[in-house]
Structure 1
Amino acid sequence: MARIKICGVRDRAAIDAAAAGRADYVGFVFFAKSPRNLSLDEAGGLAGAVPSGIRRIGLFVNADDEAIGAAVRAARLDGVQLHGDEGPDRVAAVKARFDVEVWKAISVATRADLADARRYAGVADRILFDAKTPTGAALPGGMGVRFDWRLLAGDRGGFDPGAAWGLAGGLDASTVGEALATTQAPLVDVSSGVEDAPGVKSPAKIRAFCEAVRAR
């Protein structure tokens, strides 16, 4: 059964809904341009509300060590998701310095984009295939954009299909079943698909999403 990550949580109600839906991860966003951005104080307060058994993942975009370290400490992060232009050397450096699980997001629009994942083989703990956002977009993800999931049904551009990976982009309760049937993704990551407005999570949509995944 696929694991579930609810990304961009900003309040206790969203965390409670994720827990009720038996999500495996919650995501805290540390990116000032995002409507889901958290201050360190906000993240620290929310971290205490996350039940044991649910892992806390922090999302960063081209952040420096100081910013990552402050968030890891404040939110007691179990993992770091790098969603910018970070190369394999940067991923390895973050993993070595902070001793946490490190995910790397790969933006996908065409099959050629999948080849980028090979650069992170043996470096990132998980590859997250996400939809490439439109040119000039302020955000690297969380916009409800979807790519052709059939691209992941084959060799994933040469990325080892046995390695840890996940799927994001355009997922909600009505589409995640198709996504899982098409890709057999071991993890699905949702943000805008469980919101009533940008940055405003819907507990009902979170529960419905989790139910749709668990029904597979």
Structure 2
Amino acid sequence: MFSLQTIFGQGNQFYTLLEEAAVAAHDSTKALHAMLKESDRQPALDAFKLARQRERETSDKISQELVDSFITPIEREDIESLSSALYKIPKQVEKFADRYSLATRHLEHIDFAPRAAMLEQAAGVVVKMVHQLRQLKLEPMKALNDQLRALENEADRLMLELYRDIYSGQLDNLQMFLLKEFFEILEKAIDRCREAGVVAYQIVLKNS
């Protein structure tokens, strides 16, 4: 049954749900960074699975609200696009954590923490961008978009450094494979943050 608030309200529940999704994504990146900073770096996968579950539940709520609500504060397609983009961030992080748990003994000499820190920063910017949707003001959103783009560019630069390490001749075949695979997963996670930021920025461009 539709409530009067659902029928005649302003659809602010969508902002709240999108914010919850962004926070869940950010929490997954914080858990990854915390794990990779530890000296033993033994994966505890519960935090990643919990963040992914929260993201999935929030995504389902958004889908249901789109069915139940007559009014949305922004276009339905934009809500769906942003929800989908946010969902992909913890999915990528969990992919890294799951595979890392299987290969820890081969990765003791590799420091992923600096790039995980960059991922955490990118997800934090996404949280701020999603919060900004309530105001739909272009200038603060543009500043955040520029910040996210700068993080993406820095991540691309670090990937070039990675390839220099891979082709240095100092690594065996297994180390080369693992180094490339895991850093590319982290790079793709940052790309997922960038994609979510682009959707948020485009929403403001359309509605400001």
TM over 0.5: no
TM-score range normalised by the length of the shorter chain:
under 0.3
Using the size of structure 1 for normalisation, the TM-score is 0.26
* Higher RCO (Cα < 8 Å, 6 or more apart): 2
Instruction: Answer 1 or 2: which has greater helix percent.
Output: 2
Compare CA radii of gyration and give the structure with the larger one: 2
Could you state the TM-score of these two structures normalised by the residue count of structure 2?
Answer: 0.27
> Could you say which structure has the higher strand fraction?
1
